[in-house]
């Protein structure tokens, strides 16, 4: 169906007529500066006789253009069928560590070694697409924490921003406290009981702008639930100088501060998870899906398409037509009539 967003603007249709009756007539040469108006349309050229009264063609064009412009200003729009949308009303903020250590290639996807961040992108990207109805936001942190996406229903944009991230682009260190503090700033004004932060890191806080303990206390005050995820393999085979000879096994996640991540989760009513490979990471996010279920509360959405440009374009064409010299048009018309008469004679 077609509707007008601002139908009250149609009240302006008789405005030129009212102004013409209410304003006093302008005395000849009384103004030092003449402002162009609709006067050229009121010329007596091309008058049409109708029911004993004389109506100017230019006046008709001017009134038609005015009516179309008013209709355009009232914002005509096409409304589609109402569509039901699921919504939970939950606000989920994702905080993902992109420090330099996320370059570590101790994960495997489809039999190939990949960096920790690549594994996170794959698993978390799928988690994002499953959050239909939730508002998601994205924080990327290294030495500093940056808000990449505010809370939004546009899940595709959040996933794209995550996939475009690179290790080290926010600095080489790990500012866990800053990430939590930034999430609190974005979540504190949302509805209580539905604020969730999922924080993923592979290291320990080594930036002292704000400590994780202080940031967690503030999060608890605002009733924000934090789920923490520690990512990184516990064993990695390092080749020796001569291939397998002299190789050794190391723990690439030795810097992961699991105790701090556990404390953060417990103080806010959340849970700590350990992801040693993409499979475990996928299980964790499936579990978070269950902990933060998607309630199918129905909401409606009607697609709209603006139509204002159609009456505006027609009005513009009419104004161009009205600006043409009617004497020239009449002469062309008469020449065409004479040619037809001559051909038939």
Query: Domain ranges in the chain?
Result: 2-16+42-80+305-344, 85-298
HSE of 159, CA atoms in CB hemisphere, 13 A: 15
Closest C-alpha among 177, 103, 186 to residue 141: 177
Report the distance separating Cα 202 and Cα 130, nearest Å.
Answer: 24
Report the distance separating Cα 93 and Cα 77, nearest Å.
Answer: 35
Whether 36 has a pLDDT exceeding 60, the answer reads no
Query: In 182-255, where do the E strands start and end?
Result: 195-201, 224-231, 236-240, 243-250
- Measured between alpha carbons, how far is residue 17 from residues 20, 53, 62, 64, 131 in Å? 5, 18, 12, 13, 57
Contact 113, 105 (CB under 8 A): yes
Mean pLDDT across 157-176 = 92
Report the distance separating Cα 218 and Cα 184, nearest Å.
Answer: 7
- Measured between alpha carbons, how far is residue 65 from residues 41, 164, 313 in Å? 11, 49, 10
What are the pLDDT digits (tens) for 172-216? Answer: 899 999 999 999 999 988 776 678 999 999 888 988 889 999 999
Contact 107, 113 (CB under 8 A): yes
H helices, E strands: number in the chain:
10, 17
The pLDDT value given to residue 153: 86
Higher pLDDT among residues 285 and 164, named by residue = 164
46 confidence band (pLDDT: 50, 70, 90) = very low
Contact 295, 301 (CB under 8 A): no
Q: Which of 217-221, 234-238, 322-326 has the highest mean pLDDT?
A: 217-221
Q: Which CATH homologous superfamily contains domain 85-298?
A: von Willebrand factor, type A domain (3.40.50.410)
- Measured between alpha carbons, how far is residue 166 from residues 109, 115, 283 in Å? 18, 10, 24
- Measured between alpha carbons, how far is residue 309 from residues 10, 72, 73, 189, 276 in Å? 17, 7, 10, 39, 57
**pLDDT, the chain, mean:** 80
Closest C-alpha among 194, 187, 224, 198 to residue 133: 194
The pLDDT value given to residue 138: 96
Higher pLDDT among residues 208 and 30, named by residue = 208
What are the pLDDT digits (tens) for 49-65? Answer: 444 344 577 788 888 99
Return the minimum-mean-pLDDT range out of 212-221, 273-282, 308-317.
273-282
CA 72 vs. chain centroid, Å, equals 26
Mean pLDDT across 108-124 = 87
Tell me the percentage of the chain whose pLDDT exceeds 90: 34
Helix axis angle, 258-267 to 212-221, nearest 10°: 20
Closest C-alpha among 154, 220, 141 to residue 188: 220
> What is the value of pTM for the model shown?
0.60
């Amino acid at each position: 169906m077609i509707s007008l967003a601002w139908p009250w603007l149609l009240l302006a249709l008789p405005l030129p007529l009212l102004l013409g009756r209410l304003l006093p007539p302008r005395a000849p040469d009384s103004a030092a500066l003449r402002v162009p108006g609709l006067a050229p349309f009121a010329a007596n050229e091309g008058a049409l006789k109708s029911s004993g009264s004389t109506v100017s063609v230019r006046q008709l064009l001017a009134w038609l253009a005015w009516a179309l412009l008013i209709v355009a200003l009232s914002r005509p729009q096409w409304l589609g069928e109402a569509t039901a949308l699921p919504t939970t009303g939950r606000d989920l903020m994702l905080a993902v560590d992109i420090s330099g250590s996320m370059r570590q290639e101790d994960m495997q996807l489809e039999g190939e070694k990949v960096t920790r961040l690549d594994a996170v992108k794959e698993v978390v990207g799928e988690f994002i697409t499953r959050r239909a109805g939730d508002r998601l936001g994205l924080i990327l942190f290294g030495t500093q924490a940056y808000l990449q996406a505010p809370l939004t229903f546009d899940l595709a944009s959040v996933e794209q921003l995550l996939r475009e991230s690179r290790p080290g682009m926010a600095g080489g260190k790990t500012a866990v406290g800053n990430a939590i503090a930034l999430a609190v700033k974005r979540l504190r004004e949302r509805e209580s009981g539905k604020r969730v932060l999922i924080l993923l890191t592979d290291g320990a806080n080594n930036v002292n702008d704000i400590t994780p303990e202080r940031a967690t206390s503030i999060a608890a005050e605002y009733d924000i639930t934090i789920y923490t995820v520690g990512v990184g393999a516990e064993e990695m085979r390092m080749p020796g100088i001569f291939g397998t000879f002299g190789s050794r096994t190391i723990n690439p996640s030795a810097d992961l501060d699991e105790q701090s991540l556990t404390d953060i989760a417990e103080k806010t009513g959340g849970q700590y998870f350990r992801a040693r490979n993409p499979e475990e990471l996928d299980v964790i996010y499936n579990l978070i899906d269950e902990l933060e279920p998607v309630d199918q509360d129905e909401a409606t959405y009607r697609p709209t398409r603006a139509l204002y440009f159609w009456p505006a374009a027609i009005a513009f064409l009419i104004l161009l037509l009205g600006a043409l010299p009617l004497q020239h048009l009449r002469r062309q018309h008469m020449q065409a009539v004479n040619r037809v008469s001559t051909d038939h004679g």
